[in-house]
Amino acid sequence: MSPSKIYGGVPSLTTMAFNSPFNFNVSTGTGNCFAGWFLAQETGTLTDVWVYVASYNGTWGSTDGVINGQLREGMTSTFVPGTLVGSAFTITLNGTTTNCWVKKSGLSLAVTAGHLYSFIIGDADGGATNYVTMNRDNGVSPQMSATGNGTFSNSGFTSGNNQFTGTMMIVKYAGLLHPLGTLLDEMTVTTGDVNERGLRFKPDEDIVWVGMGGYPDNAVTCNEGHIFKIYPDSSLPKGTTLGIYTNQAGSLGGTAPSPIVNVFSTASHVFLPAGRWYRFTMLPAFAFSIPRKIRHLTTATIDADVQAAALAWNGNCYWTEEVIGSPGSWVDDVRAIPNLSPFFIPAAGYSARPSLNVGM
């Protein structure tokens, strides 16, 4: 199973200009650089990495046209990456395409399950005139907890001169895609109306729908009267559902509760067999501009691995919304997800099998 994708809060991207020569050294390091951490889930070989280019300044390629990468194992108490794994490597950039993912293939770096690693990038010949600027996340945000934190440095990871950051990277090892931080880079507010919006998804294991969650709009998605639905893929909006839950009125000391995850009572749980398409939507009780859409900002082609790393179930999980009409229809966006999602648990070992069994 791939590491979890948890998207909470507004993506808060910033950039780092590689405009000074990078040299990793705990005592005399130099240059702007950052690293994404990850705890290896499997033992095997790291073969591919992805990084995100924001922009170029000057004439890229006037020197060597590459940035520099390293994989290091372990970490010091001052968050300096540890021992170099294999050899350092370079990542070639074309100097023209911006706001895009760049892939480096053909690596052969051994990783061990349960060990902590840092994937570092910088530019050994970065200069004040000709340089590349890379995207990273501006801080340690909720999605980092499952996918990895990171650090950045303005002095080649000199000990004591490192700060926490999120990152925007992917590594692939033992055939596993492991996202390092934010992979979707923009959140937009939708039109305020009563259209249904949510997810189209195809799980790769049997699951049970037990609730819903979302952030940072959890306070309003818990409002009384909002209706949450699970549809078979063949149903049109307002059509036949497999499960439905209506938010109830409630208060705690006069204050409405606003959980990030709302777990339903057992009677509302729904069993969903693997390998089938479904839709999860919210029908708002009043005109509403939530859930918001979290999406890939880039207009460049996104390769299948990036899509699979960014979205659950190898990319088979993405935005859907109702189009008002007669009898109505759905429109999907495979480059986005809502900031509201169903909460599932694996069906294996589920002891309170609901009476509503889909396709059983």
In the chain, the largest separation of any two C-alpha atoms, in whole Å, equals: 69
The predicted-structure confidence for 287-345, as pLDDT tens digits, reads as follows 888 888 888 877 777 889 998 888 889 899 999 999 977 678 999 999 899 888 888 99
What DSSP letter does each residue of 169-225 carry, written as one string?
Answer: EEEEETTEEEEEE----EEEPPPSBS--EEEEE--SS-EEEEEEEESSSHHHHTSTT
**pTM score, whole prediction:** 0.83
Per-residue pLDDT tens for 202-225? 999 999 999 887 766 766 677 778
Q: Which of residues 125, 157, 183 is at a domain's end?
A: 183
- C-alpha pair distances (Å), 244 with each of 87, 224, 267, 333, 345: 54, 14, 11, 23, 17
Domain end residue (candidates: 127, 156, 183) = 183
- Provide the total of helices (H) and of strands (E) in the chain, helices listed first: 3, 27
Q: Exposed (0-12), middle (13-18) or buried (19+): which is 75, by Cβ within 10 Å?
A: middle
Task: Give, for 317, the enclosing helix (H) or strand (E).
Answer: strand 317-323
Instruction: Tell me whether residue 308 is in a domain.
Output: yes
How many structural domains is the chain composed of? 2
Question: Residue 151's domain spans which residues?
Answer: 13-183
The reply to whether 293 and 161 lie within a common domain is: no
- How do residues 2-39 score in pLDDT, each as one tens digit? 444 544 455 567 889 999 999 998 889 999 999 999 99
| DSSP string computed for 248-284 | PP--BTTB----SEEEPPGGG-EEE-TT--EEEEEE-
The reply to whether 219 and 177 lie within a common domain is: no
